Amino acid sequence: MSENKCQCGNPKRDEFMQKLFDEYLPIKDNLIQMLNEVQEHYGYIPQNAQIELSEFLNIPMAEIYGVITFYSRFTLKPKGKYNIAVCLGTACYVKGSQKIMDRLKERLQIESGETTKDGLFSIEETRCVGACGLAPVFTVNGEVYGKATVKKLDEVLDEIISNKEK
């Protein structure tokens, strides 16, 4: 058995995970904090990371899966290159963000939480990003577009698509 390989045949632990394990103590309480970092780094929680966390924190895989699926911030599937989140908080809803969401689904032909086949876009519903003064808002990879309209959304989508074609 080579030192760098674990028995289950997983590839060598990557640099990010190693850093994470150096930074945190192997205490169960740290699970959510570590998952947050994994989500931030990979854009989702890969199965490998779950296995490694399970060993490191001594928590069964089932429990980790339970925690991941409980919190809406954690996802098991990779997001698109452009993750578009429409705020459906009350302030944005009252100002018509549902129309923007409907239009987005119509244009991309996917549902909320899904990624387009080419991996370019994914859609997400968020509850209040806190920019209620700019309602309705949507964000593209975290960048906020305020006082949004269906037209503005179309423009943003068109621009991304035309850039890709170039």
Partner 1 sequence: MKSLEEIHKIREEKRKELDLRVNTKADTREKHILVCHGTGCTSSKSPEILENFRRILKEKNITNVRVIKTGCFGLCAKGPIVIIRPEDTFYALVTPEDCEEIIDTHIVKGERVERLLCKDIDGTVVNSLDELNFYKKQKRIALKNCGVVNPEEIDEYIAFDGYKALEKVLNEMTQDEVIDVIKDSGLRGRGGAGFPTGKKWELTKASVGDQKYVVCNADEGDPGAFMDRSILEGDPHSVLEAMTIAGYAIGANKGYIYVRAEYPIAVQRLKIAIDQARAYGLLGENIFDTDFSFDIEIRLGAGAFVCGEETALLESIEGKRGQPRVKPPYPAQSGLWGKPTLINNVETYANIAQIILNGAKWYSSIGTETSKGTKVFALGGNVNNIGLVEVPMGTTLREIIYDIGGGIPNGREFKAAQTGGPSGGCIPKEHLDTPIDYESLKQIGSMMGSGGLIVMDDTKCMVALAKFYLDFTVSESCGKCTPCRIGTKRMLEILERLCNGEGEELDLYKLEKLAANIQKSSVCGLGQTAPNPVVSTMKYFREEFREHAIQKECRTLECKAMAKITVNEEKCKGCGLCQKHCPVNAIDGSGRDKRIINQEKCIKCGTCITSCPFHAIGN
Where on the chain is the footprint of partner 1 (CB under 8 A)? Answer: 28-33, 35-36, 39, 66-67, 70-74, 88-95, 99, 126-135, 137, 144, 146
Smallest gap from residue 95 Cβ to partner 1 (A): 7
Query: How far apart are CB 26 and partner 1 at their closest, in Å?
Result: 12
Rounded to the nearest whole angstrom, what is the least distance from the CB of residue 66 to partner 1 in the complex?
Answer: 6
Q: Is 105 exposed, middle or buried (0-12, 13-18, 19+ CB in 10 A)?
A: middle
Minimal CA–CA distance to 21: which of 43, 46, 49, 40? 49
Nearer to partner 1, 120 or 125 (CB): 125
Closest-CA residue to 83 (of 25, 43, 36): 43
Phi, psi of 78 (to 5 degrees): -65, 145
Nearer to partner 1, 30 or 116 (CB): 30
